[in-house]
Structure 1
Amino acid sequence: MINKVKLSLQPTFRPPSEAFSLILQVTNGCSHNRCSFCSMYKGVPFKIKSLEEIKAEIDYFRNRTRYVERVFLADGDALIIPTEKLIEILKYIKKVFPECKRVSTYASPKSLELKSEEELKEIKNNGISLLYIGAESGSDEVLKKINKGVTSKELGDLILKAKKVGFKTSVTFIAGILGDKDFRENAVATGKFISRCEPDYVGILSLMLEENSDLYQEWLKGEFKEAKGIEILKEIKLIIENIDVTSNIVFRANHASNYLNLKGDFPKDKERLIQEIDFALSRQTLKDKNYRLL
C-alpha cells in the first residue's frame, strides 16, 4: 500500500503551534474558500481524500517516523468530512500511532453548523481535542465585507457549541483587516465577541496582503490602503481593553505578522499587555509597515 502514496506538491498550511506535529492532509483546499483576505487555497478545488489514500499516508508516515505525539489534520477544514468517515480516520490514527496525545484541525463555521452536538461529541471522544477557528472579527459589518459567510452571533454560537461538547478552541482575529479605515467599531466588537465566547486560546494577527486574494486586487486598484503599524497597535489595544472574562484565556499576538510581540493570559495579564502597547506607542518608532518590535 505504501507505494501508492502520492504526497501533495502544493503548499500545506498549519497553525504556528503545530510546527512539530505530523501534518496529515486528509482534504485538499478549503470548503468555504471565499474569504477576501485569503489566498491559501485559491485555485485548489476542494476534495476529501478517499479512506484508502488517507490510510496509505498514515502507514507511509508510520514507517518513516519513530514517534508522533501530535497530528494535525489538513487542509483548511478537515472537520467537514462526513462524521462516520472522520471517525474511521481517527480510529486508524489511534491504531497506527498509539503514542499520539493530540489530534487537531481547522474548523470552519460551515462544518460546525453541519455537525450535530452528538456528532461533535463522538468526534471529540475519538481523538480530536483542539479546533482552530478563524473568526477574524467580531463585527457583522467586517464579517460581511470579508465574505466570511456568517454573522457575529452565528459564529459565536458555533464556538460555544464546540466548547459545550468539550473541544479546546483556538480562535484567531486579524488586526488591520479594514486597512486605513476607522477600526474602533471593529475593535470594540471583537473584544466583546471574545468576552462572550471565552475561547481557550486567542491569537491576533496583523493583516498581510496575499497575492491572488480579492483584497490584494482591491489594493492594486487603489481601493484598499493598508493600516500603519501604529494604528494596528492601537486597534489591538482597544480589542484588549474590551475583553472582560473570568475564564483563563491564553492570549498571543506574536505571529511573524505582528508589530509587537505580545503574550499573556487573561484576565491576569490584561493591564500589563495594555502597558506594553502604551510603552511601544510612546516611543514613536513604528514609522512604517516594515518595522517590527520583537
Structure 2
Amino acid sequence: MRYVGSVYRPPSEAYSLIVQVTYGCSHNTCAFCSMFKEKRFAVRPLEEVLEDFHIARGIYRHVERVFLADGDALVRKASEMYVILDTVRELFPECERVTCYASPSSIRIRTDEELRTLRAKGLTMVYMGLESGCDEVLKLMRKGHTAADIVAMGQKVRQNGIALSVTAITGLGGPELLERHAVETAEAFNAMNPEYIGMLTLMVEPGTPLYDWLHDGSFQLLSQPQVLQETRLLMEHLDSPGSVFRMNHASNYLALKGTLNQDKDAMLRTIDAAEHNLNLLRPEEWRGL
C-alpha cells in the first residue's frame, strides 16, 4: 500500500484495510493536536485511491473492514465518494464495514440525500471529535466550532442512517473548567445519543500550542484525583441509552467500558474504587497516544 506521511486511525480500526482518500486534516489548527502537521490537507487523486484498492485486493484474501483515511475523508465530492464505495463493494464483497473520520464542516456540506446514498453504498459509520461540550474549552482549543454546531452535525449523521462514534478528552479544560467541561460534554453526548462514545485523557504533545501554554504556566493539567472527579461528573450526567461507552484508550488512567445507561452504576462504582485507591490507575509511564 502507498501512504503519504503518518497515518492515524481510531483504535477500533486496528485490523482494517486503511486507504488514504485525503491527505491530512481539513482543519488542523486544534491547540491540543499534533497529528498531520507534516503535510497540508489535500484531496488525493481518485485514480490513485482506486489503484490502491486494486493493489489491496491482490494482497489480502479477506477484508472485513475498510477505513478511509486521513483526517476528513467525508469532505470529498459526494460523487467521488460514491465511486470509492462502489469500488470497495465490488472488490471486497466480504467487507462488513466502511468507516472514516468526519468533521462538522464536512458533514454540513453533505445534503441529507447524499448522506443517505453514502449509507446505502456502504459507509456504515463516521468518527467525529467533540472534544468538549463546553464552548469556552472549544474556543480555547481552537476547535473552530461551537458545541451546538457539533451536536447538530452529529444528529444529522444519525438521522440519515449512518452510525456515529464521538470522542471527547478528559482534562481539556484544565482545573478551572473541570465542572463545566464534564457536565456540558455529557449534555452534548446525550443530545447526539451516538452509537459509540469514546473518552481519552489529555496528553500534551510537543509542537502544539497547548505544550507551550503548559510550559509558560497559562494552562494546568489535572491531577489524577481531579481526572477521577471530572470522570465521575461526566458519568453522573450521561443519559444516552444504548450508547456503547469506552474509556480504555492508552491515554486513560482508568479503564471503563459498558453500555449506557444500564452499566452506568457499575462504572460509577469503578470510579469510586479508584478514588479510594489510586494504585488502581494506569502508571504515568504506561500511558500513550
> Which TM-score band (shorter chain)?
over 0.9
Runs of 5+ in structure 1 lacking a partner? none
Cα distance in 2 for partners of 1:226, 1:260 equals 16
Within the candidate set 201, 204, 219, 1:206 is matched to 201
User: Cα distance 1:64–1:192, how it changes in 2: closer, same or farther (>3 A)?
Assistant: same
Is the Cα–Cα contact under 8 Å of residues 173 and 203 in structure 1 kept in the other structure?
yes
Deviation at 1:95, TM superposition (A): 1.2
Cα distance in 1 for partners of 2:151, 2:280 equals 33
Deviation at 1:189, TM superposition (A): 0.6
Identity, in percent, stands at 41
Measured against aligned partners, the alpha-carbon deviations of 1:218-257 in whole angstroms (never above 9, x if no partner) come to 2232322221122111111100100123x31100000000
Within the candidate set 160, 179, 184, 2:179 is matched to 184
- What SS class does the counterpart of residue 284 from structure 2 fall into? coil
Where do 1:52-71 residues align within 5 Å?
52-71=47-66
Deviation at 1:141, TM superposition (A): 1.0
Cα distance in 1 for partners of 2:50, 2:182 equals 44
Within the candidate set 25, 44, 53, 1:30 is matched to 25
Is structure 2 residue 245 aligned with structure 1 residue 280?
A: no
Residue number in structure 1 paired with 2:154: 159
Within the candidate set 214, 222, 244, 1:250 is matched to 244
Runs of 5+ in structure 2 lacking a partner? none
Residue number in structure 2 paired with 1:270: 264
Measured against aligned partners, the alpha-carbon deviations of 1:267-288 in whole angstroms (never above 9, x if no partner) come to 1011111111011101144799
- What SS class does the counterpart of residue 124 from structure 2 fall into? strand
The amino acid that maps onto 2:273 is F
Out of 284-293 and 17-26, give the one that drifted further.
284-293
Cα distance in 2 for partners of 1:291, 1:10 equals 27
Cα distance in 2 for partners of 1:147, 1:216 equals 14
Residue number in structure 1 paired with 2:191: 196
User: Cα distance 1:125–1:288, how it changes in 2: closer, same or farther (>3 A)?
Assistant: closer
The amino acid that maps onto 1:266 is L
Is the Cα–Cα contact under 8 Å of residues 42 and 212 in structure 1 kept in the other structure?
no
Is the Cα–Cα contact under 8 Å of residues 103 and 128 in structure 1 kept in the other structure?
yes
The amino acid that maps onto 1:219 is L
TM-score by length of structure 1 reads: 0.93
Is structure 2 residue 93 aligned with structure 1 residue 98?
A: yes
Residue number in structure 1 paired with 2:103: 108
Deviation at 1:83, TM superposition (A): 0.4
Cα distance in 1 for partners of 2:218, 2:136 equals 17
Cα distance in 2 for partners of 1:190, 1:230 equals 19
The amino acid that maps onto 1:154 is D
Cα distance in 2 for partners of 1:221, 1:286 equals 31
